[in-house]
Structure 1
Amino acid sequence: MAKEVGLGLALAGLLFMYLNGYDVTPLLFLGAAGAGLYYIARSRGLLARHFVPEQPVNQQEVSFADIGGQASAIQELREALDFIKNYHQIKKLGIRPLKGILLTGPPGTGKTLLARAAASYTDAVFIACNGSEFIEVYAGVGAQRVRRLFQTAREAALRQGKKNALIFIDEIDILGARRGTNASHHEYDQTLNQLLVEMDGLKVDDRVRVLVVAATNRPDMLDPALLRPGRFDRLVRVDLPDRQGRLEILRLHTRNKPLGDDVSLEELAKETFGFSGAHLESLANEAAILAMREGSEVICQRHFQEAVEKVMMGERLDRRPSAEELRRVAVHEAGHALVSELVKPGSVSSLTITPRGQALGYMRQVPEDDPYLHTREYLENQVAVMLAGAVAEELVLGSRSTGAGGDFQEAARVAEQMIKNGMSSLGVVDAESLPRGLRYRAITEILRGQEERVRRFLSERKELLEKVVEALLEKERISGEEFRRLVS
């Protein structure tokens, strides 16, 4: 209301001066310039009185029981949070309270969900923000927003009658990067300094006990001052789920979905090696969408199989390769599958020549277990499988194609890994100081050795290779069981 009154008085004054013969052009110019500067300052956030981070209102609370596949991370986090819940006992024993917990791990593993569950576990107000929200080109704005963040957390807790507040900072590597890395701009350093000051000021006997939980997938970028004891006291690793963890996550995301009698979540957990929690949630959602498109009342196993391929590779492409290209793709994938079945029986999950994403076709493997260590034999077998597609093209069609480029790069990467771990003919070496020519010869020796091995195997089974190719051209997709019946 005051703005409207002031604007009306200003216009009346200008009109009065104009009618009395005064030149109001300079005043109009100054007013326009002032309005422009005010607009720019407001758009940049310089005149914003408050920085209000996310405060979920009436949002369903998340508990640790709603998070699957992260048993060790939940256990470690719960132990740290018990210090917050039992504050009377830790005060009596003179224990310094935890001020910060850092969650690290790949994207999509549930770090934000863990932070929300931690707030529910400690009956705390949950305040969420992102590290990029604190970075501005104008000095002092980021530091002001950090101060406002902690003030908002305390005020929100007092309004709701709670004694705990949890501040969650996602992507903290943007806010907490090593000082000095942005030499031309000290705003980053000032913002980080303010965060350090605020965390140092947290005490156990405050009216509102504040806990800072941060998440990042780049802990190596953080400033050492953030990671020292007294700031982020606990570092909780949130890794990709193992096979049992994937099964738990699938059960959580399918509990509200009608599943067919043929659905085996254990089989899906086995086939989704390397999937994060976010991937598995998308898998369950895509399977439900496919069932809806077909008009099915339940979600069947074939819907989940199709969803796995869609999540991994992308949507099917409308563009169809020519008959000659399609045959070459079938030969390529059949070569991969035959060698994979040789080095590890039962490892082929499916074969397809349906174009998806950037791939014209692919062969998918199913690892029996989640390996943590790799032997020389295992890595050599992986190289052999990668080279099999190009060798099959050469044997059946007389030449190779550019479709094997990605296979060659991955095979060279595995060969380099063998050299670093002392599994090549060079023995134990320092890979960093190895001469480039010697490294090249060692990689070439590994690749050529496996290439000859694959060529001998496929030459002896050329008729079998053609049989698989014809089946692929006829059906476009065959399962691992169908493939094994063909080659048995």
Structure 2
Amino acid sequence: MKNNWKELLIGIVAAAAIYTIGYTVHIGAAVLVTVLFSAIFVMNRNGKGVKSLASLKNKKSVAIKQISFDEVGGQEHVKQELQEALDFLVRREEIAKRGIRILKGILLTGPPGTGKTLLAKAAASYTDSVFIGASGSEFVEMYVGTGANRIRELFQKARNEAKASGKKNAIIFIDEIDVIGGKRDGGQQREYDQTLNQLLTELDGIYHNTDVQILLIAATNRKDMLDEALLRPGRFDRHIEVALPDKKSRKHILELHAANKNIVATVNFEELARDTYQFSGAQLEAVMNEAAIYAMRDQADAITEEHIQAAIDKVLLGEKINREASKEDKIRVARHELGHAIMAELTTPGSVAQVVLAPRGGALGFVRHTPMADKYLYSKSELEHKIMVTLGGAVAEELFYGERSTGSRGDFDQALNIVKTMVESGLTSQGIINGQMMTADRWSLISNEVLDELLAKTKQLLSQHSDIFEQALPILLEEEVINGENFRTLMEKSNAIPINLQQNA
């Protein structure tokens, strides 16, 4: 406390001296600035004020685990493209002889959890480079010049560490580059703009004839937000899309994360890859980890198929909830979910993996769908079928109760999103139109037109298969789970014919 008063006195004296040197002193301004000067002085001494600009420079490096490309599951095309881009660091002399300009930056884009950070670490191992990692948020400060200074420090730190380690290359990885590399609006200079300007300057200053060759690898899931000056050739020369893994890649990732776990021999990873459609690499890792936790809870020696299926449900929807619903509500939820399942099998045979009547996350029940193959393009009829599946729950409630419930709210949101995709793809009666130019009333009119027609078709189909509800309901209420094979057996007993076969007939 005594030292604080001494520092405060020094600050007051210093500030007063500055303001009394001039010919004219405005007393109010002098008092205000003196107080501010003193407060900042004390706060900095106590560590509560502005962070030191040398914080990044003085930050000790943390040794990262060496990761090879073989340890990154799936993404074979991405790894091949990335290795080709990295060869200019590995084969510097040959690249120089051929007159090839060095690559300064590689941009990895794609959804969260697809392995962009892992790929950057594998790149450092592949090129025998020093790896310096940072996040875009580390360069965001309210104080002018702080972010730009930290960019300079980052590049200098990479050079210094490479020299200290006896390496010729250094890879700087900036995650969430969109935080500092967003589009500039052309208005007044902001702190973000100065940080971006400094990053562009550092990229322009990378040359092949330096002792340490620096490569910047950045990651984002919002490429459209980035400034054009950052994306142009000569800065980020390669843009590599890291997409969600396909079925083959999902199988590879699951097997990688199962390598250090005791799993029963009957587990079929081919089927698990199909059940985890549209899972990211991070989600697949979480599935195997949660399965191991379930096995530990059961005091089991090995992870079984049931443990993994429970883990898939948890990653999708969350942990089971001890929420005791009334018998009437359980029957209603069961019929709702059976409506989804019946429509799914009628429109896409073999797609139902499970019908579950158990609260999990925010859902009172759910149907897990697993398409027979990964799909990336959809026709108009396929999108209409997806809408009919989402409407199946609400229509089932109408058939048995004469009205819907609030449980259909999420289903309707999904249906409206699919309608939006149809409109923007020119797959409605409106033809090719610009969705951004449509008014809210026009959107409502088109949505009602599409949904009303599909609601009628869904109601007709479920009415024709009402006997399936009666057969499946007692089983679902007692067991709380019907797997896909058993559900399809019930469909076959009722002579349910898929829509595509009905149309061909």
TM-score (normalised: structure 1): 0.90
Alpha carbons of 1:78 and 1:34: their partners in 2 closer, same or farther (altered >3 Å)?
closer
Q: Select the residue among 158, 161, 164 that pairs with 1:156.
A: 161
Matched, 1:325 2:329: yes
Matched with 2:496 is none
Deviations 1:140-174 (Å, cap 9, x if unpaired)?
A: 21111111111111111111111101111111111
Matched with 2:16 is none
Amino acid at match of 1:425: S
Amino acid at match of 1:51: K
More divergent stretch after superposition (255-264 vs 459-468): 459-468
Alignment of 1:187-336 (within 5 A): 187-336=191-340
In 1: Cα distance, 2:290 partner to 2:404 partner: 36
Provide the secondary structure at the position in 1 that maps to 2:171: strand
Q: How many residues in Structure 1 have an aligned counterpart in Structure 2?
A: 465
Matched, 1:482 2:486: yes
Matched with 1:44 is 50
Matched with 2:176 is 171
Alpha carbons of 1:480 and 1:178: their partners in 2 closer, same or farther (altered >3 Å)?
same
Amino acid at match of 2:230: L
Amino acid at match of 2:61: Q
Offset of residue 39 of structure 1: 3.0
Alignment of 1:43-192 (within 5 A): 43-46=49-52, 48=54, 51-52=57-58, 55-57=61-63, 59-180=64-185, 186-192=190-196
TM-score (normalised: structure 2): 0.87
Deviations 1:450-487 (Å, cap 9, x if unpaired)?
A: 21112122222222212212211111111111212223
Contact 1:42 1:48 in 2 (8 A): no
Contact 1:353 1:362 in 2 (8 A): yes
Matched with 2:29 is none
Gaps of 5+ in 2: 11-34, 493-505
Deviations 1:327-380 (Å, cap 9, x if unpaired)?
A: 110010011111111112211110011001111101111111111110111111
Provide the secondary structure at the position in 1 that maps to 2:217: strand
Alpha carbons of 1:40 and 1:228: their partners in 2 closer, same or farther (altered >3 Å)?
farther
Offset of residue 180 of structure 1: 3.4
Matched with 1:457 is 461
Alpha carbons of 1:34 and 1:342: their partners in 2 closer, same or farther (altered >3 Å)?
closer
Provide the secondary structure at the position in 1 that maps to 2:57: coil
Provide the secondary structure at the position in 1 that maps to 2:472: helix
Amino acid at match of 1:89: E
Matched with 2:13 is none
Matched with 2:388 is 384
Matched, 1:345 2:376: no
Gaps of 5+ in 1: 1-6, 15-28
Q: Select the residue among 362, 372, 386 that pairs with 1:358.
A: 362
Offset of residue 272 of structure 1: 0.7
In 2: Cα distance, 1:81 partner to 1:185 partner: 35
Matched with 2:399 is 395
Deviations 1:358-414 (Å, cap 9, x if unpaired)?
A: 111011111111111101111111111111111111111232111011111211222
Offset of residue 40 of structure 1: 6.1
Alignment of 1:362-441 (within 5 A): 362-434=366-438, 436-441=440-445
Q: How big is the alpha-carbon RMSD for the aligned residues of Structure 1 and Structure 2?
A: 2.5
Alpha carbons of 1:172 and 1:432: their partners in 2 closer, same or farther (altered >3 Å)?
closer
Contact 2:56 2:154 in 1 (8 A): no
Offset of residue 43 of structure 1: 4.0
Offset of residue 442 of structure 1: 3.0
Alpha carbons of 1:31 and 1:114: their partners in 2 closer, same or farther (altered >3 Å)?
closer
Alpha carbons of 1:348 and 1:85: their partners in 2 closer, same or farther (altered >3 Å)?
same
Deviations 1:279-337 (Å, cap 9, x if unpaired)?
A: 00000000000001001111000000000000000011112211111111001001111
Matched with 1:21 is none
In 2: Cα distance, 1:30 partner to 1:363 partner: 62
Offset of residue 54 of structure 1: 6.9
Amino acid at match of 2:207: K
Provide the secondary structure at the position in 2 that maps to 1:51: helix
